[in-house]
Each structure stands twice: as C-alpha cells, then as structure tokens.
Structure 1
Amino acid sequence: MNLSSRLAEVAQQLPDKEAYVYEGERCTYGELNAAISKFASGLRNIGIQKGDHIALIVGNSPHFVIGLYGALRLGATVIPINPIYTPDEISYILTNGDVKAAIAFDLLVPLFAKMEARLPQVEHVIICETPQGKEQGISLTKKMKSFTDILLSGDVQYEGPTLADDDTAVILYTSGTTGKPKGAMLTHKNLYRNAQDIANYLKINEDDRVIATLPMFHVFCLTVALNAPLMNGGTVLIVPKFSPAKIFKLAREQKATIFAGVPTMYNFLYQYEEGNPDDFRTLRLCISGGASMPVALLKNFEKKFRVIVSEGYGLSEASPVTCFNPLDRPRKPGSIGTSIMNVENKVVNEFGEEVAVGEVGELVVRGPNVMKGYYKMPEETAHAIRDGWLYTGDLAKMDEEGYFYIVDRKKDMIIVGGYNVYPREVEEVLYSHPDVIEAAVIGVPDPNFGEAVKCFVVSKNPSLTEEELIDYCRERLAKYKVPSSIEFLEELPKNTTGKILRRALKEKLTSSQA
C-alpha cells in the first residue's frame, strides 16, 4: 500500500465524501481521484516516466494536492520547493535534484524564463494559473505548458505502474550545515506508514476536518495535515496563507476538528484581540510542532480557547513524526511525548550506548519512517544512519514514563517561525559581499517568530551600513533567512585554532542586554 493506492481505495469507499475545501470550492474523493489519474496520465503523455524527478513549486492549493498525488501515481519522484526561495536557491535544488519537470505558479514564469538557459535538464515547466497571474497577463515560453491542459489531456482510467515500497517517492531538501541543502529521500513506505501511524496515534478519521495552513511543501503539513487525513477519509481545509482572522472564520464556518501549527501561529492566534473561543468550539485537538512551544503559551492558549494542544517531534529524515504526546494518557507540557507506534526513540551517548533515564544524550530514531538516505550524498548518509538508527543531532532526555524532552536543538541551528535556518547558509551570503571580511550568525529570541537571525560582521568598508547588507541578503535568501539585525565589530572572538566562537557572541549579547 502507498499514498496513491490508498487514496484510490478511499475514493472507491467514499466517492461523495469531501476530500478538501479550498476558498469555497469543494472536491469529493471521487473527483479528486479522477483528477489525480488524469494528471498522472497527462504527465505520461508529455514524456514523464516512472523514476523521473518533478519539482513542485506551489503553495497550499488544489494544484499541490493533484500535482503531488498525480506524480506519485505515475511513479515519479516529487521534490517540493518553497515558492518564495530566491532564483539561486531554486536553481540549486533543480540542478542537484536532476529535475526533469517543474510544476509552478504562473507568478514564477518570469523567474523560470530567466533561468531557462542554466537549467537545460528541466524539459517541461507546468504552469498553474492564479488570479494574480491572470491580472498581470503573464505569457508562457515554448518550454512551458498549462497545468489545466495537462489535466484535460489525461485518461481518467489510468492506474499507473506498480510501485515498490522502497521506490523514492519524495526528496525533501533540508538546509545543510555546510551551507548546501541535502535531499532526504523518502520512500513510498516511509510516507505511507508515517501518515497512517500518526493518524492512528491521534485517531484521525473520516469525521475529522483538518486545517492545513502550514506550508504543504514542509513535511509537517505534508504528513500530518494532508496525507494522514486523506488516508483515512478526512477532509482537508486548505488555507493558502495563515492569518488569525482567516483561521477563526474557517474553523467556525467549516466546523474544523483539528488545527496543526507551529508555536508562532499559536502566539498570533492567542494575541489576536478579536479571536473568539467559541469559533474553536468544534476543535477536538490542536497539534504543535516545528519548534518547542513555550509552556506558558501552551497553558494560556488552552485556557483561553478550551482546547488541548499536543506537542510532537519530527524531522524531514523521519517523514517526519517520531514522538507525540498521547491522547489516552496525561499530556506533559514541555515534552515532545512518547514514541508513536512502530517507531523507536532512544537517547544515546557518543558511543551509541543508551543512557540512563533522565540523562542527556543524542536522540536517535528507528522505524519504517526513516529515510533511505541523502540524494547523491553517501558519506552524509553513512554519518546520519548508523546500525539502522537515524542520528538526529538533537540533545534530549527521557523520563521514567517514556516521555522525551528536547534539551537543545541541532548545534547552532536557528528556528524562525518553524523554519530551520543554518548560520553557515547565511554566512556564505555575507561572505560573498565584497566589503565583508568576517561574519558570524546566531539566533536571538523574537516575540513573534520564536527566533530571529542576528549577524556579526567585520567590514573593510567603514561606510557599509546595516540596511545595505540586509538588502544584499534579501536578494539572495528566502525571507525567513534574512537577518533581522547586523552588528559591526572590529573583530570576532576566536579560539586558539582561529575558529569563530558563536557562543562567545551569544554571551556578549546576553551581557550587553543585562
């Protein structure tokens, strides 16, 4: 069983049940399954074959759902990409990921037109129309095709080739500590089993109506708010862009039962003055992930809106969920919960030996959800997966009841509104500026987004300003990676080997604020 075949099975059992609701548009499982088959067949008609790589560069929309499941039914490998990435970021993934076709919103047509010369391996760019694109009168190049035309050209009876459990279904690019993203290869088995295991754990069923406002290209939403409900006959309430007003209105009008978000979203919902607890009266569960949720926020949110918030833990390499606070036992604020079914978590020392209860070590994971490896990175794969265990790089501890707690995140990683930002990635951009001699990046607390990117720079040009350097970064980095502030120093603190000490910068910042 895989995502595509299970959706076809649900469509046969519940053809008239709502699969998704989007901007007032309702689509049944029967209609969705037909569209998926037609789109898969349409892709085959233009030469896409099993094993080919297709980039999916669209936001939350029916295009994403049909594009994802259509490509999977054909046996293609899907590479979801954040649409707000810069041309350099998108180009790297398209090239490194050996992408043959890309599905993108029409607003990205100018970007693809500029990149065509340096992306010869991308044979097709399938364009999804948007109201904004129509207003701008965007015209397509010869390499571009209409999503609608591909869909209409397909055969509704198309079932696709036989898929093996170990075939790569999705490659998720995650920021690498070296500054270059790594592609985590997730198999059909990885994605299907994690979607079903978390659905069983949280009792997601056909009565649930799940708000999908997290980005679908992010694995948290992909598995928890999209795949899990679709595998079990639930209804996905697709939200193109998060806003507190829209969430309260949607929850009330659509009688939502589950909301999934990152702590930043919960903070915005809690702070929204017009937020009415009665709007959330049908919610049976709120799910939080992507970053640790402050206990005070969790308790205040639950008290105000009279709904349980369950925290969990996951990472792209594990499809992503490994732990969640259980619904049939006491929930522990500050904990990421217990191992979900079929997944093992344990805390080990530097020798890979399990440590005693309450001791801090590295969290490692084993289960059917763990990736097959990093695309074209055998050494990185061997480092991440040892003796069948995925080494997360996160420091954790476990209590006597099997609840896990994250003590610290991956070394130096910054989490901005639930998105991972690696300092090296930002530093690479800063170092590319002709006036920058040295640069170091750290995360600092931010009331709205959890953390923000703070930079320390040594410049050879005394007239270089913070604003100029931030503008430089804005042209080369996705919005959430752009520094919120830059401080110029005469020199950066280093150890005896010349390595820049980020910890010293954090201590300096803390002492200056005291």
Structure 2
Amino acid sequence: MNLSDQLTVTAKKNLTKTALYFQGKETSYQELEGAVTKFASSLKKLGFQKGDHIALVVGNTPHFVIGLYGALRLGVTVIPINPIYTPDELSYIINNGDVKGIITLDMLLEKFEKMAEDLPKVEHYIIAETNPEVPFGHSSLSPKLKSFTQLVQEGELDFERPYLDDDDVAVILYTSGTTGKPKGAMLTHKNLYSNAKDVGTYLGITPDDRVIATLPMFHVFCLTVALNAPLMSGGTVLVVPKFSPETIFKLTREQQATVFAGVPTMYNYLLQYPEGKSSDFESIRLCVSGGASMPVALLENFEKKFNCQISEGYGLSESSPVTCFNPLDRPRKAGSIGTSIIHVENKVVDENGEEVPVGEVGELIVRGPNVMKGYYKMPEETAATLKDGWLYTGDMARVDEDGYFYIVDRKKDLILVGGYNVYPREVEEVLYSHPKVAEAAVVGVPDPDTGEAVAAFVVSKDESLTEEELIAYCKEHLAKYKIPSSISFMEELPKNTTGKILRRHLKEKIKQ
C-alpha cells in the first residue's frame, strides 16, 4: 500500500465528505480523488514517466495536495521546495535533484523566467493559477508552460496506474543545510505510508477530526502529521496559507477544528496574542508540537490558558519524520518528546554505538520502516548517517526508566566551557521561566580563558528587563559555568519558515 492508493480507498468510503477546506471552498474526497487521477494522466501525456523527478514549488494550497498525490500516482518522485527560496537556493536543488518539471505559482513565474538559463534539464513549467485575471501566456518560457487547472480539467479518469514498489523513492526532501549544501533525503513510498499510518494511529486521528495545516506543506512535519495522516483516516484538512494567531483562532472557531500542529514559536505567538481567549480553542482536542524542543514554561502556560493538552513529539526529514510522541493514553511528561511510536525503535548510544544506561546522555539513533533510503547522490554522507540499519540523528538525548526520551540538544550545538558540557536548552529553559522573557536562544562563543562561553539572546515582554536582572536570575538556577557571559536583547529571533530559531544567524551576529 502507498499514499496514492490509500487515498483511493479512503475516497471510496467518504465520497461526499470534505477532504480539504481552503479559503471558504470545500473539496470533497470524490473531487480530490478525481483531480489527482486526472493530473496524473495529464503528466503522463506530457511525457513524465515513473522515476522522473518533479519539483513542487507552491505554498499551502489545494495545488500542493493535487500535485503531490498526482505525481505519486504516476510513480514520479516529488521534490517539495520552499517557494521563498532565493534563485541560488532553488537552482541548486532543482539541478542537483535532476528535476524534469516544476509545479509552481503564477506569482513566481517571473523568478523562474530569470533563472531559466540555469535550469537546462527542466522541460515543463506547470503554473498553478492564483489570479485567473492575469494571463501567463506571454512569457519567455511559453513553449514550456502548462496550466495546472487545464491539466486537471483535461485529464482522464481511466488512467492506468504503474506498479509502485515499496522501495521506490516517492519524495526527496532537501534538508535545510545548516552546514554546507542541502542534502536530499530519499523517502520511499513505504517510508511515507508507514509513518502517516502509524502517526494517525498513535494520535487517534479519525474521520471526525478537522486538522489545521498551517505549517508549511513542503516541510515533512506538516506533510505527514497534518496532511497525509488525516487524509488516510478520512479526516478534513483545513489548509492555511500563512500562519497568524488571528487566522488560527478565527478558523478554529468557525470550522470547529479538532487538531492543531505547530512548532514552539507558533504556540508562543498564540499565547502572547492579546485577543486570544481560552474559548478560541474550545473545539481542539489535541495540540501537537515538534520541529524544535518546547520550553517547559511555554508548554505549561499554554495548556493552562487554553485548557488543551500539547503532545510533544520528535522527528527529522530522514525518518519521514516522526519517531516519538507523548502518548495520549498515559500521563504526558513535560519536557519529554515521549515514547517510540509503533513500529519505530529509538535508543541512546555512546560514541561506539553502545547503548548508554538510563538517564545518561548520548546520541539518539532510530530504526524502523520510516527511515530514509539515503541521501540522493551522496553515498559518503549516507554511509555516515545510516549504520547497521540505524539512523544517527545527531541529537543528544537521554531516556528515563519509563521509556520517555528527552532531547538535550543538537550534538553540534553543545557548548564546551572550561571542559564542562553546557547544553543550550538547559539555559534556555531557565530564561523562559523568567516572567518577563518571551523568547530566548543560547549559543556558544569563543572565549580566551574557557575555550567557549555562553551567549544568550532574548526577546523581552517588558522593557524594564535588564541584562543584570537576568544574569542574577540565572545565578539562582544554574551552575556558574552555565551562566551566560552576555545577554543581548532583540525585537525578534531569526527563524526559518517552519519557525525554528536559527542559531547560526545568532553566531554570525556575534562575529560582526
């Protein structure tokens, strides 16, 4: 079984039920299934074959869903890309990924026109129209241009599907590339199907659920948790193009949303929103957090205000992505990423790959049907990350006696102060617990005496907060070597499109 075939099965059981809700328009399962099949048949007429690569450069719209599932139905490998990437970032991924065609928005056409000479392998540009009043026919790319809407309208329903093997590559997700160039994680049909199915089961997603998809769909967290899992279960996906607290609260009230998935910064924005009321989230039965560690103070304050439980989980692109979630049938442990989801194994190991005792810190490694095939055209990086069937995550973690895992920090973010290990998250938790702190991030900076020192960056809720006050607060809660040597106040912390704080940008700020 794969995502495309499962959609067909789900659609047959829920023909008239709403699959997607987007800006006031509902798309039933029958309509979605038909559009997916027609799009797949039109791709075949254009010359796309099983094994070809197509880039999906659109935001959160029905175009993304139809484009994704339509390509998968034909056996075409999909490469989702962030639409706001620069031409250099786009060119690298499209060329490295051997992309034959690009699905993108009409508003991005001008950007691709300027890039055309740098993309010699691209044969087709499929334009998803957001403004039907603006024609795109008069373009330097005209011979290669196709209308997304037209391809769906002119496609055929009696399309014969190719055989898809479980190990065929379904999606290539390019990691954010915090070091060097982005790497393309090859996720198979089995990887994506198993993780969506297991996440849906673990979180108890049913046809009654109405799941908010405001995380970027090109990111694997949204792709699996807020799109694939509910579509497999017959639920409704509430598609949100851009996150804002006002939009989320309004949508939740009007559409009676039941599940919200977000990263910690989204929860922080919702919590800080002045007009936000507990009644705004009355219909929500479950909040899911991932993408980065959630400070315990933020989690507890959010749950107290909105009276809903947050299940924090963990994952990464290379594991499709989810490996852990806080279980819903047992007590949730604040600060923990939870326990291994069904069919997935997690363990904490030392430098030699040996499991460490309960409570000790080591590297988190993962094994299961969700673990990637490897990195596209990068055998050495694949060999360094996949060892004896285990995926080495690069995240430092510990596990307690009940099997709950705790992320301590990224291996590469560890700060070494005079020979002592300092994990940024531990310092950040203390900063977040101060009542005047809205956001905080910690990085290591060079120090002539101790090798490295702790530098903190803070967004304050109160202008009266001073560096001296915060350092005094840290002295009450942290060992001397963990106390920040400096605290810089910022209006906002630099983040990527999923809301993850970019520590490397903060380090660069220090160098300036």
TM-score normalised to the size of structure 1?
A: 0.81
Aligned equivalent of 1:59: 59
> Contact conserved, 1:346 with 1:363, CA < 8 A, in 2?
yes
Q: CA deviation at 1:175?
A: 3.0
> Contact conserved, 1:37 with 1:159, CA < 8 A, in 2?
no
How many positions carry a matched residue from both structures? 439
1:194 maps to 2:195: yes
- Please give the alpha-carbon distance, in whole angstroms, between the structure 1 residues aligned to 2:501 and 2:57: 17
> Contact conserved, 2:106 with 2:136, CA < 8 A, in 1?
no
- Please give the alpha-carbon distance, in whole angstroms, between the structure 1 residues aligned to 2:175 and 2:369: 20
Q: CA deviation at 1:480?
A: 8.2
Q: CA deviation at 1:152?
A: 1.6
Q: CA deviation at 1:193?
A: 0.2
Can you list the C-alpha shifts for 1:354-373, whole angstroms capped at 9, x where unaligned? 11000110000000000000
Aligned equivalent of 2:281: 280
Q: CA deviation at 1:178?
A: 4.3
Map 1:396-407 onto structure 2 (within 5 A).
396-407=397-408
- Please give the alpha-carbon distance, in whole angstroms, between the structure 2 residues aligned to 1:405 and 1:319: 20
1:252 maps to 2:253: yes
> Alignment partner of 2:100: what SS?
strand
What residue identity is the alignment partner of 1:38?
K
Can you list the C-alpha shifts for 1:280-310, whole angstroms capped at 9, x where unaligned? 1111000000111111111111111110011
1:307 maps to 2:315: no
1:24 maps to 2:24: yes
Classify 1:357/1:247 alpha carbon distance in 2 versus 1 (closer, same or farther; 3 Å): same
What residue identity is the alignment partner of 2:255?
Q
What residue identity is the alignment partner of 2:323?
T
Can you list the C-alpha shifts for 1:231-282, whole angstroms capped at 9, x where unaligned? 0100000000001011001000101000000000000100111112112111
Can you list the C-alpha shifts for 1:122-171, whole angstroms capped at 9, x where unaligned? 0001111113x846978442221111111122102224211000000000
Q: CA deviation at 1:445?
A: 3.7
Aligned equivalent of 2:270: 269
Q: Identity, % of aligned pairs? A: 67
1:373 maps to 2:374: yes
Map 1:48-127 onto structure 2 (within 5 A).
48-127=48-127
Aligned equivalent of 2:419: none
Aligned equivalent of 1:341: 342
- Please give the alpha-carbon distance, in whole angstroms, between the structure 2 residues aligned to 1:372 and 1:274: 46
- Please give the alpha-carbon distance, in whole angstroms, between the structure 2 residues aligned to 1:6 and 1:486: 46
Q: CA deviation at 1:115?
A: 1.1
Classify 1:125/1:444 alpha carbon distance in 2 versus 1 (closer, same or farther; 3 Å): farther
Q: CA deviation at 1:410?
A: 3.9
1:323 maps to 2:336: no
> Contact conserved, 1:52 with 1:99, CA < 8 A, in 2?
yes
1:350 maps to 2:351: yes
Map 1:200-211 onto structure 2 (within 5 A).
200-211=201-212
> Contact conserved, 2:265 with 2:500, CA < 8 A, in 1?
no
> Contact conserved, 2:176 with 2:182, CA < 8 A, in 1?
yes
> Alignment partner of 2:412: what SS?
coil
- Please give the alpha-carbon distance, in whole angstroms, between the structure 1 residues aligned to 2:23 and 2:346: 40
Map 1:374-393 onto structure 2 (within 5 A).
374-393=375-394
> Contact conserved, 1:190 with 1:371, CA < 8 A, in 2?
yes
What residue identity is the alignment partner of 1:170?
V
> Alignment partner of 2:227: what SS?
helix
Aligned equivalent of 2:3: 3
- Please give the alpha-carbon distance, in whole angstroms, between the structure 2 residues aligned to 1:122 and 1:47: 13
1:409 maps to 2:422: no
- Please give the alpha-carbon distance, in whole angstroms, between the structure 1 residues aligned to 2:136 and 2:46: 25
- The RMSD of aligned alpha carbons is 2.6
Aligned equivalent of 2:451: none
> Alignment partner of 2:211: what SS?
strand
Can you list the C-alpha shifts for 1:323-377, whole angstroms capped at 9, x where unaligned? 0000000000000000000000000011111110001100000000000000000
> Alignment partner of 2:94: what SS?
helix
1:40 maps to 2:40: yes
- Please give the alpha-carbon distance, in whole angstroms, between the structure 1 residues aligned to 2:206 and 2:135: 42
Classify 1:357/1:123 alpha carbon distance in 2 versus 1 (closer, same or farther; 3 Å): same
What residue identity is the alignment partner of 2:300?
K
What residue identity is the alignment partner of 2:325?
F
> Alignment partner of 1:198: what SS?
helix
- Please give the alpha-carbon distance, in whole angstroms, between the structure 1 residues aligned to 2:117 and 2:275: 50
Can you list the C-alpha shifts for 1:86-118, whole angstroms capped at 9, x where unaligned? 000000000000000000011111111111112
> Contact conserved, 1:35 with 1:66, CA < 8 A, in 2?
yes
Q: CA deviation at 1:176?
A: 3.4
Aligned equivalent of 2:486: none
Can you list the C-alpha shifts for 1:369-417, whole angstroms capped at 9, x where unaligned? 00000000011111101000000011000000000001111413999xx
Aligned equivalent of 1:213: 214
Can you list the C-alpha shifts for 1:44-81, whole angstroms capped at 9, x where unaligned? 11111111000000000000000000000010000000
- Please give the alpha-carbon distance, in whole angstroms, between the structure 2 residues aligned to 1:177 and 1:303: 35
> Contact conserved, 1:109 with 1:138, CA < 8 A, in 2?
no
- Please give the alpha-carbon distance, in whole angstroms, between the structure 2 residues aligned to 1:285 and 1:339: 19
> Alignment partner of 1:237: what SS?
strand
Can you list the C-alpha shifts for 1:311-331, whole angstroms capped at 9, x where unaligned? 000000000000000000000
Classify 1:399/1:484 alpha carbon distance in 2 versus 1 (closer, same or farther; 3 Å): closer
Classify 1:135/1:160 alpha carbon distance in 2 versus 1 (closer, same or farther; 3 Å): same
> Alignment partner of 2:71: what SS?
helix
> Contact conserved, 1:285 with 1:307, CA < 8 A, in 2?
yes
1:228 maps to 2:238: no
> Contact conserved, 1:42 with 1:152, CA < 8 A, in 2?
no
- Please give the alpha-carbon distance, in whole angstroms, between the structure 2 residues aligned to 1:360 and 1:87: 41
What residue identity is the alignment partner of 1:26?
E
Map 1:427-506 onto structure 2 (within 5 A).
445-447=457-459, 483=505
> Contact conserved, 2:295 with 2:335, CA < 8 A, in 1?
yes
- Please give the alpha-carbon distance, in whole angstroms, between the structure 1 residues aligned to 2:11 and 2:277: 36
- Please give the alpha-carbon distance, in whole angstroms, between the structure 1 residues aligned to 2:218 and 2:117: 26
Structure 1 unmatched ranges of 5 or more: 416-422, 424-441, 449-472, 491-514
TM-score normalised to the size of structure 2?
A: 0.82
- Please give the alpha-carbon distance, in whole angstroms, between the structure 1 residues aligned to 2:391 and 2:507: 35
Q: CA deviation at 1:181?
A: 0.5
